[in-house]
Amino acid sequence: MDVTDALAGASARRELELDGHAQKIDESARKKDPGHHRLWAELRGDSRLESLRIAALGWVPRKVERVTGVQERFSLCVLRAGSAGTYREAGESAPRRVRGPGVFFVWPGGRQDYGPAARADRWEEFYFTVEGERAAEWLKAGWWGGEARFWPVEEAAVDEAWRLFQAGCEALERRDGRALDRLKLALERWLAEGPWAAAASGPRPGDTRVGRVVEAWRRDLARAWSLRESARAAGMSYTRFRARFVEELGRSPHAHLTRLRLELARRWLRATEEPVKAVAQRCGFPRVETFIRAFAKAHGAPPARWRAEQAAKRKTRA
């Protein structure tokens, strides 16, 4: 987020609102007051966790202008369900269509271009802008988006982030240092449990051999994984590997790998307008026909129809 100008007075003011009057964010305000951009900021001395500072909590109920150019801060941006627009970062030749619910990450020095792209687009986001050593550690650990900076997520993840956002606003309003400390730790846990962290994490010492294989799969679902090679990597025959897999996870290696790929495909279908064939390739299905059959079996409808049904549901809720 490019909030430099708006944050210029943050050291003197607890709450900033661009239309000039303060009002606490709640669900009724979010629905009745769609055009205002509000910001909250942490002042020095508010928190004992000084390695992480909340530079801004921001809420944009209806974004009008796009954000473009090189960014200067760490921002975790959450795109709410029903939102739509385009997103592009350095290296991409053209913006890609995205929809909420989704999460995207801004980092110092990153070049991005995102926001509503058409008059009919409704783009609602809220964001956490952070500073300090801890934020840099998150980036290094891969928790700040990993290789992909836009991640489609389930609505439950966005709802949890919204609860954290509201708790942060309330803590900053009251200057409640203990509540602010808890918010920072909860935000770190939320980041650590996201799909970006799972994709970036390597095997952990306490993992089983089966667990290490699953983590490797998660990090690169587009790869054409060989189950027998995965078994050899785990130091087992395929028969033993399959038996251990069923014992630990309750399903065969093939069934579990397909499930992981379909979960990723569902997020991409909901959050983007990529062709079904492109989604299939992104998620590791070598043939689009195989993807369509597997998806229909798991979700009761082929990908294109499922996507259309989800879009209709979002439109009804809006």
Q: Tell me what the mean pLDDT of segment 281-295 comes to.
A: 94
- Domain membership flag for residue 202: no
Domain that holds residue 101: 15-197
- Domain membership flag for residue 2: no
What does pLDDT average to over the chain?
A: 80
Within this chain, do residues 167 and 223 fall inside the same structural domain, yes or no?
A: no
- Domain membership flag for residue 223: yes
Q: Tell me what the mean pLDDT of segment 144-164 comes to.
A: 83
Asked if 186 and 162 count as a contact pair (C-beta separation under 8 A), the reply is no
Asked if 158 and 78 count as a contact pair (C-beta separation under 8 A), the reply is yes
Within this chain, do residues 150 and 280 fall inside the same structural domain, yes or no?
A: no
Q: In what order do the strands lie in the sheet with 111-115?
A: 67-70, 111-115, 84-89, 96-99
Q: What percent of the chain has pLDDT over 70?
A: 82
In the chain, the number of structural domains is: 2
- Domain membership flag for residue 86: yes
Within this chain, do residues 117 and 224 fall inside the same structural domain, yes or no?
A: no
Within this chain, do residues 288 and 151 fall inside the same structural domain, yes or no?
A: no
Q: Tell me what the mean pLDDT of segment 117-125 comes to.
A: 89
Listed residues 197, 230, 245: the one ending a domain:
197
Within this chain, do residues 37 and 168 fall inside the same structural domain, yes or no?
A: yes
SS (H, E, C) the chain: CCCCCCCCCCCCCCEEECCCCCCCCCHHHHHHCCCCCEEECCCCCCCCCCCCEEEEEEEECCCCCCEEEECCCEEEEEECCCCEEEEEECCCCCCEEEECCEEEEECCCCEEEEECCCCCCCCCEEEEEEECHHHHHHHHHCCCCCCCCEEECCHHHHHHHHHHHHHHHHHHHHCCHHHHHHHHHHHHHHHHCCHHHHHHCCCCCCCCHHHHHHHHHHHCCCCCCCHHHHHHHCCCCHHHHHHHHHHHHCCCHHHHHHHHHHHHHHHHHHHECCCHHHHHHHCCCCCHHHHHHHHHHHHCCCHHHHHHHHHHHHHHHC
- Domain membership flag for residue 10: no
- Domain membership flag for residue 5: no
Q: Which two tokens stand for residue 71?
A: 């960014």
Within this chain, do residues 41 and 156 fall inside the same structural domain, yes or no?
A: yes
Asked if 225 and 257 count as a contact pair (C-beta separation under 8 A), the reply is yes
* pLDDT number for residue 292: 96
Within this chain, do residues 41 and 177 fall inside the same structural domain, yes or no?
A: yes
* pLDDT number for residue 138: 83
| Domain at 216, CATH number | 1.10.10.60
* Interatomic CA distance for residues 278 and 264, integer angstroms: 13
Q: What is the pLDDT of residues 195-233, one digit of tens each?
A: 776 655 444 434 578 888 887 888 788 889 999 999 999
pLDDT > 90? residue 7 = no
